[in-house]
Structure 1
Amino acid sequence: MKADAIVFIHGGQHDARCWDPTLLALRELTSTPLLAVNLPGRNGEPGNLSSLTIAECVHSVLKQIREARLQGKLMLVGHSMAGISMPALAAELTEANLHSMVFISCCIPKEGYSVVESLDPPMAPIAKFAAKYLKTFPPLPKAFASWVFGNGMTRQQKQFLVTTLCRETTTITREKVSRINMPQCPRHWILLERDRAISPSRQREFINNLGGVSSIESVDGCHDIMIAEPKLLAERLTRISKT
């Protein structure tokens, strides 16, 4: 069954702009409606980063879906830290309104654990420091962001990456997550083999935390694959959307 629309949810320190290269590539392959959302407190979406909760993220995304008038079976695509909000969003949408969920190198803590308890170096010490001492965290330094998110990117792609990074909340990185009400729709994982933010071995642990997936697509790419290899990602997502 084909997806009726695709909704994209960004990760930490990103906003909807990170999906622009992939959306451009997708529009050459499909006429399916596409929506890249902004989580609260970034790129004009109302919200207080210093007190943000997962529930507020879900409420915001639901509002944006309604405003876009998307109907039918939705395919949810999440990247990185979207792994803590997308299952909660799916629970609110319910199985009847879902085509599938696609996890792109997502952070999936164990049930009842938080993001800061789930990461490896180099991101773990940064996340733990920020969660302990800061309510919000500024964008990563350009050189480090390029190294950890954009290894293998062109200079132009790295420039786009670092200019679209934004301030991030620390409250949801400390929040304990639960996927008890996550519906049993098809789940797919895009595993990034050169990811420096979430290693391939950690991604496989996160797949187990999720309870398994319907398919795993391995890609020889960096953490921000939607910027580095937009045509490749668009092809993979188009194929999933038609199953």
Structure 2
Amino acid sequence: MPLPGLVLVHGGAHAGDCWDPTVAEVRRLSPRIPVLAVDLPGRAGKPGDLATATIGGWADSVIADIDAAGLADVVLVGHSMAGVTVPEVAARLGQTRVREIVLVTAFVPPQGRAIVDTLDGPLAPFARLAARFGGLFGGAFKPPNPILRYAFCNGMTPEQRRFNLSRLHKESIAIVAERVDRRGLSPDIPRTWVLTTRDRALSPASQQRSIDALGGVETIIRIDACHNVMISHPQQLARILVERCQRHTAIDHAG
């Protein structure tokens, strides 16, 4: 039976190319796994207005990319701010197409709350300032690079830091301020969490709150890494993602 496609959804201030080091490792480890690293609207050439973006609109974009790639069933992977997008994608595709959700140090607000309401850490003041004075920023914002380097890149090699800092983008204030609604998410879709233990953007305690907010997380895998683990530890993360895909083929054969 074919392996499910691996769909990678980037977080705030990034685009699909942040996954490049991990994608290369996945393809080396298991060339049979189809891999799709999406660009969310409003960056890297994907049309979209960050000022009027919605979680639902971003979910539509991800689903359109999945369908265009011909992926019948998928393992959905979301990093950081994709914690608000991936559950919506999974809710719309349903359990017949989504084999598993894997959230990688993601931010998941409690039901009915927004990222800006509950975010802590070094990025929180910038998110709250942007949400309060969004019009002054044109609906999008990006914290200064030294702050992003502190939040995302601790423990990286100089080459990894250069790679990361050269691929940063403005982020949508509307998404940060939008309240989430996960009532459509099936409880039967398996959920895995990759918890980064040296994370400055989302501390382990903050990640645990997100795990509790999401609910249904069956597996927690810890990596001694910074927030942008897909750049700092691509081999380790790729092994985890390949295993998550391969286990569903094994389950299907067993069934």
The TM-score range, normalised by the shorter chain, is over 0.9
**Alpha-carbon deviations, 1:36-58, whole Å to 9, x = none?**
00111010111111110011101
CA-CA distance at 1:121 after TM superposition? 2.5
Residues 193 and 222, structure 1, Cα contact 8 Å, conserved in 2: yes
User: 1:81-137 CA distances to partner (integer Å, 9 max, x unpaired)?
Assistant: 000011110011011011100000111101000000111121211110011112433
Partner of 1:189: 193
- Separation (CA, whole Å) in 2 of partners of 1:236 and 1:143: 30
Give yes or no for the alignment of 1:113 onto 2:117.
no
Cα separation, 1, equivalents of 2:216 and 2:203: 18
Unaligned runs of 5+ in 1: none
TM (norm. structure 2) is: 0.92
Query: Does the CA-based 8 Å contact 2:51-2:140 persist in structure 1?
Result: no
Matched-pair contact (CA < 8 Å) for 2:18–2:230: yes
Task: Give aligned pairs, total.
Answer: 242
Matched with 1:219 is: 223
Match of 1:190, SS state, is strand
Instruction: State how 1:54-203 maps to structure 2 within 5 Å.
Output: 54-71=55-72, 73-134=73-134, 135-183=138-186, 184-203=188-207
How do 1:229-240 residues align onto structure 2 when only pairs under 5 Å count? 229-240=233-244
Following superposition, the deviation at residue 143 of structure 1 comes to 2.1
Once residues 136 and 219 of structure 1 are traced to their aligned partners in structure 2, the CA distance between those partners, rounded to angstroms, is 34
2:209 is the counterpart of 1:208: no
CA distance in 2, matches of 1:54, 1:138: 17
Q: Distance in 1 between matches of 2:141 and 2:120?
A: 20
Q: Percent identity?
A: 40
Q: Tell me how far apart the structure 1 counterparts of residues 59 and 145 of structure 2 sit (CA, whole Å).
A: 29
Distance 1:185 1:53 in 2: 23
Is the CA contact 1:187–1:213 (under 8 Å) kept in the aligned structure 2?
A: yes
Q: After superposition, where does 1:23-38 map in structure 2 within 5 Å?
A: 23-30=23-30, 31-38=32-39
3-state secondary structure, aligned to 1:107: coil
Q: CA RMSD in A?
A: 1.3
The answer to whether the 8 Å contact 1:3/1:99 transfers is: no
Partner amino acid for 1:7?
A: V
SS at match of 2:194: strand
User: C-alpha separation between the residues in 1 aligned to 2:185 and 2:80?
Assistant: 18
Aligned residue identity for 1:170: I
Partner residue, 1:241: 245
Kept after mapping to 2: 8 A contact 1:2/1:242: no
CA-CA distance at 1:63 after TM superposition? 1.1
State whether residues 15 and 40 of structure 2, in contact with CA within 8 Å, keep that contact through their aligned partners in structure 1.
yes
Q: Structure 1: how far apart are the matches of 2:105 and 2:241?
A: 14
- Cα distance in 1 for residues equivalent to 2:140 and 2:49: 13
Shift of 1:166: 0.4
Verify the 8 A CA contact 1:5 1:74 in the aligned structure 2.
Answer: yes
